[in-house]
Amino acid sequence: MRDTFTETATALLDDDPRTALVLADISASSFAPAAGRHPDRVLNVGIREQLMVGVAGGLALTGLRPIVHSYATFAVDRVYEQLKLDLDHQGVGAVVVSVGASYDGSSMGRTHMSPGDVALLDTLTDWTVHVPGHPDEVPALLRAAANHDDRVYLRLSTATNDLPRPAAGRLMVVHRGTVGAPLVLAVGPMLDPVLHAVTGLDVTVAYTHTPRPFDAAGLRELVGTPSPAAPAVVLVEPYLAGTSSAEVSGALAGVPHRLLALGVGRTDLRRYGSPADHARWHGLDAPGLRRSISAFLD
Amino acid sequence: MTTTATAPDLMVTPATRNRRAGRPARLGPLLRRLTGDEKHAPSAHSTLDVLWVLYDRILRVSPETADSPDRDRFLLSKGHGPAAYYAVLAAKGFFPEDWLDDLAGPESRLGHHPDRTLVPGVEIGTGSLGHGLGLGVGTALGLRAQGLDLPRVYVLLGDAELDEGSNHEAIAYAGATGLATISAIVIDNQSASHGWPGGIASRFTVHGWTAHTVDGRNHDAIETALTSRRPDRPHVVVAVVEPKE
């Protein structure tokens, strides 16, 4: 996904003079060719993330469309107040593109992990959040984001599904169970582990790469007219567990339902290892998901 | 104080100019409408003289050009205590003077920190310290990228505001890249808890900015300091006023 982002952003910088890229050293070498062609619009401020977002706010105030890029923990966690004040409060936007989703940087330890990025953005105003599940979903999302002035977060991961589903801006049914079957919502790269986990279960699986704005209407439609038993909804997100619980609750206000929210745990595990190891430890690999979902539905 | 031949910190003393006129008498009543304070003189507002010189003599912006891409930008980074800012904007006609009568009221557009979306002429909403210089650097870069060479970006900070590390990210970057279309003005009322040993200007000049330190009440000195800059470097004016009470 990171390479796809580099290629698409480089093309955007060539094609659209309104776009500008702001970096804080991360990925600067990948964008060296673009920087050579557009020295005024490819800006590497050094290891200065507060300035990275402040500069983006200033660029947007002059009418440009800034793309900000770093590790999630530096592009969101570290600069939370800059996102809040230099973008939201000024009434301007940017496209924030992160790598190092959740525990993608597990071998580098907790300092390079950011499972809480989407939850942090949920405290701010009108952020669109894209969590692509495949590299081929990235170009259209980035191009669309570059074409307006709103606030967009594009969360890139090394975890990917086998197949791209570019049209999944709203909830898209990937596997349909019987009428009234429990509903499993998979966000971004959680789809393939979910599909493996529910093999043989009577559930409907819906997918989206765009959890914000949350597709409340789509969820209500999928839940349909509640049967006598309260419908069961399972939310599987690749970031902090429960991040979208409030969205599901809001969408189903007045509809009796049961909700299981799965995602990354809050605890600093103080372990390195691979992203696959962390998926297992957080119960987000296929066997772990199977255990949680089966226990919930039993 | 760190002073080099290429990045001078020039002390423009009050003696270099002798005219101290310029601040109009009507600013006093405007300030009193905002604050209800009959006791303190207008000079109790540390930023007042610098703001007046900027809007009266320096900035190429008016109510008519407040949205023009080619206007100069003034960014009040030190967003707290904006009474002087509001008084100057009202005096220059950016908004009606009767807006001053209900500061921070439930229907007021003017609060104790300014909001750019509520007040004509206000370029950025501030209050939390240390945001204006980064936004100013971005604004200068955005103007440059669009070929808008005429506008200049002015950012006003306080000496205590410089405690915030975000300022130093912007100071270092602007200096290293020779971002010559930005000017910072630091109102120095000696309010930083731990002071700035070696002076404030040196924090800028060490990164390649040019700097002037002036009497922050002397209008001609302020004007001279703001306009005496080099075409290839960012510029800072440290405006010294009375210590904060």
- 3-class SS at B70? coil
Has residue A162 been placed in a domain? Answer: no
| pLDDT at A229 exceeding the cut of 60 | yes
CB contact under 8 A, A91 and B116: yes
Residue B22 CB neighbour total at 10 angstroms: 15
**Of B198, B194, B195, B224, nearest to B212 (Cα)?**
B224
Which pLDDT belongs to residue B13? 46
Q: Which residues from A are below 8 Å from B148, CB to CB? A: 62
pLDDT digit string, tens, across residues A39-92: 999 999 999 999 999 999 999 999 999 999 999 999 999 999 999 999 999 999
B51 phi and psi, to 5 degrees?
Answer: -60, -40
Among the candidates A155, A180, A206, a domain finishes at: A155
Length of chain A: 298
Contacts of B92 (CB under 8 A, 6+ apart): B55, B56, B62, B63, B121
Q: Which residues from B are below 8 Å from A55, CB to CB? A: 134-135, 137-138, 141
**Judgement on whether residues A177 and A122 belong to the same structural domain of the protein:** no
Name the amino acid, one letter, at A26.
I
Question: Which band of pLDDT confidence, cut at 50, 70 and 90, is reported for residue A227?
Answer: low
Q: Phi/psi zone of residue B42: left (φ > 0), alpha (ψ -120 to 50 degrees), beta?
A: alpha
Tokens standing for residue B71: 């206007």
Which pLDDT belongs to residue B99? 96
Optimal mutation site among B76, B141, B153, B173, interface A, most CBs of chain A within 10 A? B141
B144 phi and psi, to 5 degrees?
Answer: -65, -45
**Of B70, B126, B66, B136, nearest to B94 (Cα)?**
B66
**CB contact residues (below 8 A), chain B span 69-88, against chain A:** 69
Residue B117 CB neighbour total at 10 angstroms: 10
Tokens standing for residue A75: 């592009």
Residue in chain A nearest B145 by alpha carbon: A40
Which pLDDT belongs to residue A226? 63
Pick from B130, B134, B142: which is nearest to A64 by CB?
B142
**Judgement on whether residues A146 and A222 belong to the same structural domain of the protein:** no
Has residue A146 been placed in a domain? Answer: yes
Please give the residue range of the domain that contains residue A199: 172-297
pLDDT digit string, tens, across residues B49-76: 999 999 999 999 999 999 999 999 999 9
**Judgement on whether residues A144 and A209 belong to the same structural domain of the protein:** no
* HSE of B131, CA atoms in CB hemisphere, 13 A: 26
**Judgement on whether residues A194 and A248 belong to the same structural domain of the protein:** yes
**Of A63, A75, A65, nearest to A20 (Cα)?**
A65
Residue in chain A nearest B136 by alpha carbon: A58
**Judgement on whether residues A192 and A140 belong to the same structural domain of the protein:** no
**Judgement on whether residues A182 and A244 belong to the same structural domain of the protein:** yes
| pLDDT at A262 exceeding the cut of 80 | yes
Q: Do A66 and B145 contact (CB within 8 A), yes or no? A: no
Pick from B117, B165, B169: which is nearest to A91 by CB?
B117
Orientation of helix B165-176 relative to helix A49-61, angle to 10°: 70
**What gap in Å lies between CA B235 and CA B245, rounded to an integer?**
29
Residue A89 CB neighbour total at 10 angstroms: 22
What CATH number is attached to the domain comprising A203? 3.40.50.920
pLDDT digit string, tens, across residues A115-150: 999 999 999 999 999 999 999 999 999 999 999 999
Q: Do A98 and A75 contact (CB within 8 A), yes or no? A: yes
Question: Which band of pLDDT confidence, cut at 50, 70 and 90, is reported for residue B228?
Answer: very high
Question: Which band of pLDDT confidence, cut at 50, 70 and 90, is reported for residue B81?
Answer: confident
| pLDDT at B173 exceeding the cut of 60 | yes
**Judgement on whether residues A141 and A182 belong to the same structural domain of the protein:** no
**What gap in Å lies between CA A3 and CA A66, rounded to an integer?**
19
Has residue A203 been placed in a domain? Answer: yes
**Of B119, B103, B112, B79, nearest to B30 (Cα)?**
B103
Has residue A161 been placed in a domain? Answer: no
ipTM of the complex: 0.96
What CATH number is attached to the domain comprising A29? 3.40.50.970
Among the candidates A155, A189, A220, a domain finishes at: A155
Among the candidates A130, A155, A180, a domain finishes at: A155
**Of A223, A142, A227, nearest to A185 (Cα)?**
A223
pLDDT digit string, tens, across residues B5-29: 344 454 544 444 444 457 888 899 9
Q: Where are the alpha helices (DSSP H) in chain A?
A: 2-15, 32-37, 49-61, 72, 80-82, 117-121, 138-146, 191-197, 216-223, 245-251, 275-281, 286-297
Look at chain A and report how many structural domains it folds into: 2
Name the amino acid, one letter, at A268.
D
Enumerate domains of chain B plus CATH numbers. Answer: 9-19+41-82+120-240 (3.40.50.970)
Optimal mutation site among A25, A86, A88, A92, interface B, most CBs of chain B within 10 A? A86
- 3-class SS at A21? strand
**What is the pLDDT of chain A when averaged over all its residues?**
97
CB contact under 8 A, A55 and B138: yes
**What gap in Å lies between CA B64 and CA B219, rounded to an integer?**
25
pLDDT digit string, tens, across residues B33-46: 998 887 777 777 99
**Judgement on whether residues A107 and A241 belong to the same structural domain of the protein:** no
Assess B164–A contact: CB distance below 8 Å, yes or no: no
**Cα separations (Å) of B193 from A226, A229, B126?**
63, 64, 21
Task: Tell me the nearest-neighbour CA distance from A51 into chain B, angstroms.
Answer: 5
Tokens standing for residue B72: 């100069």
**Judgement on whether residues A12 and A38 belong to the same structural domain of the protein:** yes
Question: Which band of pLDDT confidence, cut at 50, 70 and 90, is reported for residue A113?
Answer: very high
Has residue A138 been placed in a domain? Answer: yes
Has residue A160 been placed in a domain? Answer: no
**Judgement on whether residues A217 and A105 belong to the same structural domain of the protein:** no
**Judgement on whether residues A6 and A150 belong to the same structural domain of the protein:** yes
Strands A172-175, A204-208: pairing kind? antiparallel
Q: Do B2 and B202 contact (CB within 8 A), yes or no? A: yes
* HSE of A258, CA atoms in CB hemisphere, 13 A: 14
Identify the residue whose tokens are 């390195």: A272
Has residue A134 been placed in a domain? Answer: yes
Q: Do A122 and A140 contact (CB within 8 A), yes or no? A: no
CB contact under 8 A, A51 and B69: no
Can you tell me the mean pLDDT for B153-166? Answer: 98
pLDDT digit string, tens, across residues B96-149: 999 999 999 999 999 999 999 999 999 999 999 999 999 999 999 999 999 999
**What is the pLDDT of chain B when averaged over all its residues?**
91
**Judgement on whether residues A20 and A145 belong to the same structural domain of the protein:** yes
Has residue A113 been placed in a domain? Answer: yes
Optimal mutation site among B113, B166, B167, B177, interface A, most CBs of chain A within 10 A? B166
**Of A168, A161, A164, A155, nearest to A122 (Cα)?**
A155
Orientation of helix B27-35 relative to helix B83-91, angle to 10°: 130
Q: Which residues from B are below 8 Å from A85, CB to CB? A: 125-126, 128, 131
